[in-house]
Structure 1
Amino acid sequence: MLSAEEISRYHEDGYLFKRKMFDSEECAILFDAAKRDKEMTDNAVKRNDASGGVTKLSVWNHPVDDVYGMFSRSEKLTSCAEQLLEGEVYHYHSKIMLKEPFVGGAWEWHQDYGYWYKNGCLYPLMLSAMIAIDGATKENGCLQVLKGSHKIGRINHGSSGDQLGADMQRVEPALERHELVYCEFEPGDVFFLHCNTLHRSAKNTSPKPRWSYIIAYNAARNDPLWDHHHARYVPIQKVPDTAIKERLWEKMEPNAKKKKYNRQEDRGDRTADN
């Protein structure tokens, strides 16, 4: 559970690091599962940045009984999201972002709510929880945020390569007024990001990959106004924190054969990411 000081810091800064939320054994399970997941990599879609660099990501709406579902439905992670959003949350979508060595493209300045708003979510009662699969550093294109920029409110977004980027007439003065923070973190750390915080990432110019698992949560009371390819409210079936180490998904009635990944390129979706 988060302390009152941590919750206050999140609301003041627009983000929060929770270091070592998952231990080395849990991290190894996630790393091994992701790196061996051919279905995930086969379903990855490409997103070009403004200069033509390419990043890949795989997206799904509903957590099934697999290793990713055990993380996104874990008691400790969902409880933190509920503390920060002050009430029940549900799984809006998850994604694995694949920023490969030397070729992984940049993500332009954006807010997640800049496009979730267009999906019918009336209020910015949403956040992302990012878990590093590989360590995130400046060299391999870690996330950059503008501290406190969530207080600006939603900024209009438009096309930037294959992505949606925030209006630079707003971003440029924000860069002058808000501290730029490089978000370096290790596997096991969780980074909680307010949906209105401006963020970007640079290209990966290093020989090391940067894969990240990102879970988006929406407040249950913020159920979208209309149907969209991202999920409406479905109660989370939470699992105990022991589920990952116990490989609980191997003991469950399998539902992982359900159609999972969203081929968003077929929908013309140019949603940006981290």
Structure 2
Amino acid sequence: MLSESQLQSFHEQGYLKIPQFIDGQTLARLQMETEALHEEMAQLAIEEDRVGPNSNLKNGAGIAWEEDLEAGKLRIRQLINSECVCPSIAEILESESMLSVIRQLSGEQDIIKFHSKLLMKPARDGSFTPWHQDWGYWQSYRKDPSQINCMLSIDPATLENGCVRFVAGSHKAGSIEHGTVPSASFSIGLEGDIDAYDATPVETEAGDAVFFGSLIIHGSAPNKSNQERRANTFAYDKANNTLDEENEEPLLK
């Protein structure tokens, strides 16, 4: 159960960090299951001849690749629908501990899964994530910016390996128009390099979680370190908020 001060901080700052959100046993299993996923999914994309700017695999997962790497080098930037290929992610996504926090932060009881993505941010190759609001992408198929995102750290996230930076309070300005950016993974974003905003770097230990809404401005620097910076984002929304009513996700219990 979140405290009043935690709820107040979330609504004031636009994000909330919860240390040790999952226990050590769950974290160890998550780390073990995701350790080999990069090579397995990259190899599967090759076998299915689905290596392109973005790849949809037969198992339901999708891949967005790192760009501007040396010829022949494949590095996954994002593994979309990660719950399809990682049992521990699927369990965390629907866990009572997760759904309880989402309901408290959103003020909604009827919630659905919006998406789950494994963010690889690989050592030495993890690229700059442009400044953006998640709503900049999601407004084309959702009615209201009511989504809540949880970024769960699988590895420690530091300044050196590209932890996420949040512009505290920026969600209060509402939706901001996004422009095109030179990235296949991020077709739109906000202008500026990593120093463009007065942002707070949020460093985390493995097992920590950061919850944030869809209107807060955030981004991350490249990972030039020798340390991986894996994290999974679990996004949720209130029910009946899709513009595509025929494909509404079922309610989470």
Give the TM interval when normalised to the shorter protein.
Answer: 0.7 to 0.9
For 2:150 and 2:159, the matched residues in 1 are separated by 19
Q: For residue 63 of structure 1, report the CA deviation from its aligned partner.
A: 6.3
Q: 2:47 aligned with 1:29, yes or no?
A: no
Partner of 1:86: 107
Partner of 1:242: none
Unaligned runs of 5+ residues in structure 1 are 238-274
State the secondary structure of the residue aligned to 2:200.
strand
Percent of counterpart pairs with the same letter?
30
Q: Deviations over 1:108-131 (max 9, x none)?
A: 00000111001x211111011011
| Equivalent pair of 1:130/1:212 in contact (CA under 8 Å) | yes
| Higher RCO (C-alpha 8 Å, min separation 6) | 1
Partner of 2:211: 192
Partner of 2:55: none
Unaligned runs of 5+ residues in structure 2 are 45-61, 69-74
Tell me how many residue pairs correspond in the alignment. 224
Partner of 2:249: 233
Amino acid corresponding to residue 177 of structure 2 in structure 1:
N
Amino acid corresponding to residue 226 of structure 2 in structure 1:
P
Partner of 1:149: 170
Q: Deviations over 1:21-67 (max 9, x none)?
A: 11211111100011133554545321548xxxx76111118768921
Amino acid corresponding to residue 134 of structure 1 in structure 2:
D
For 2:29 and 2:200, the matched residues in 1 are separated by 29
Q: For residue 166 of structure 1, report the CA deviation from its aligned partner.
A: 3.2
Residues 160, 187 of structure 1: alpha-carbon distance in 2 compared, 3 angstrom cutoff: same
| Equivalent pair of 1:145/1:199 in contact (CA under 8 Å) | yes
Match of 1:128 among 138, 143, 149: 149
The CA RMSD over aligned residues, in Å, is 2.6
State the secondary structure of the residue aligned to 2:9.
helix
* 1:23-102 equivalent positions in 2, closer than 5 A: 23-37=23-37, 39-41=40-42, 42=44, 44-48=63-67, 56-60=77-81, 66-87=87-108, 88-102=110-124
State the secondary structure of the residue aligned to 1:17.
strand
Q: 2:208 aligned with 1:166, yes or no?
A: no
Residues 202, 26 of structure 1: alpha-carbon distance in 2 compared, 3 angstrom cutoff: same
Amino acid corresponding to residue 164 of structure 1 in structure 2:
S
Q: For residue 89 of structure 1, report the CA deviation from its aligned partner.
A: 1.5
For 1:24 and 1:123, the matched residues in 2 are separated by 36
